Amino acid sequence: MARATFLSFSPPCLSEQEIVAVSEVLRKDWLSSGPKTKEFEQTFCQVVGAKSALALNSCTAGLHLGMILHQVGPGCEVITSPLTFCATANVVEHVGGSVVLADINPDTLLIDESQIEKNLSNKTKVIVPVHYAGTPCNMPAINAVAATRGIAVVEDAAHCMPGKTTVAGEPVGSSDNLTLFSFYATKNITTGEGGMMTGPQALVDEARSFALHGMTRNAWGRFAKGGSWKYDVLQPGYKYNLTDMAAALGVVQLSRVNELFAQRMKIVGIYEEAFARNEYFVPLKQSAGVESSRHLYVIQLNLEKLTIGRDEFITQLSERNIGTSVHYTPVHQLTYYAKKYGWTPESFPNAYKVGQRMLSLPLSSAMSTDDACDVVAAVKDVCAKFTR
């Protein structure tokens, strides 16, 4: 029997604490980037062990700044995964660089470091590993490849809060690589819209100027008591700053990070137990030696065992009031990129095959045990009804 109400794919998990925190900002005389944003940056540094942090209005903004800071432009190539949100590739196009894709490992869905090596050239400027679904890539191997050629690494950690690498359990965001996080509405920690850049102090400081029009002084510094209206512009920058209202959400969400992660893992545990021995799909394989944020619960359907395809499977779950999503349409199958680079679906066979049979089940810290059990029941019902 289908549940009575629709279960959204990934509802945010907010408490009265977040509401109070945002209300306090609204009662004060500063709404844009200011003291609360600074607090968010400092707290984030402490949580992930980052050397420096910059709060931004999106992870995409941070990826764009990463390309600028590493001087990507015409004639430069950036290697990344075909299984990522379009923003990872879009920012390369924005600065005039060329996107080079390295196929994925079909088990983990992470970029295959051996494919990175095959795609290196004297034009390679940056490698952008994507910590897909919250699982860190093999960063020791990728960093080693980059170091031997003097190539920069910019980590797309949009899914990866919290996550830890294989190197002595170090948190993602604590390395010398520029690392970008997302706080979009569906992320493990949310500010509605927002992002964070971590990395070396000098690079992050340079990004700070670019993120606010290239100015030498922000508005809070100019308008506060004792501040000066005078400023200069060092380069034509962008409007990428985060507001204090959003940061207030982020500060509280960070204080609850362990609580939120524990609840997320309860839901994952229910799924893992229920789906351990099914023949209709394969859950995403977890890489050894890393700690995933478990941002997504991705399954690959065994279409040979079903009479319906992935899209109809999603429709059937929706009819049972279960929301899902797909992460993602591979970059090389998107019209712009296919036309520009002449890619066919088979250009990256692993990403293509996975892209035809994958979907993401609901996963959120806001979900209850009953919600998870409803998902399990609906999935099993669809599999039983459409078994081949």
Cβ burial of 322 (10 Å; 0-12, 13-18, 19+) is: buried
Residue with tokens 């990344």: 80
Structure tokens at 358: 């994958």
Give CA–CA dist 248/258, Å, rounded. 18
Catalytic residues: 187
Cβ atoms of 193 and 55 within 8 Å: the answer is: no
DSSP state of 111: B
DSSP state of 110: S
Task: Look at residues 178, 228, 232 and name the one whose alpha carbon lies nearest to residue 205.
Answer: 178
Cβ burial of 44 (10 Å; 0-12, 13-18, 19+) is: buried
Give CA–CA dist 125/97, Å, rounded. 9
Cβ atoms of 364 and 372 within 8 Å: the answer is: no
Task: Look at residues 325, 323, 299 and name the one whose alpha carbon lies nearest to residue 383.
Answer: 299
Reading phi first (left if > 0) and then psi (alpha if -120 to 50, else beta), residue 199 is in left
Return all residues near 160 (Cβ < 8 A) that are at least 6 apart.
131, 134, 135, 136, 172, 181, 292, 293, 295
Cβ atoms of 271 and 376 within 8 Å: the answer is: yes
* Distance from the Cα of residue 326 to its chain's centroid: 14
Count of CB atoms situated within 10 Å of the CB of 287: 17
Return all residues near 123 (Cβ < 8 A) that are at least 6 apart.
75, 76, 77, 98
Pairing of β 195-198 and β 53-56:
antiparallel
Cβ atoms of 145 and 173 within 8 Å: the answer is: no
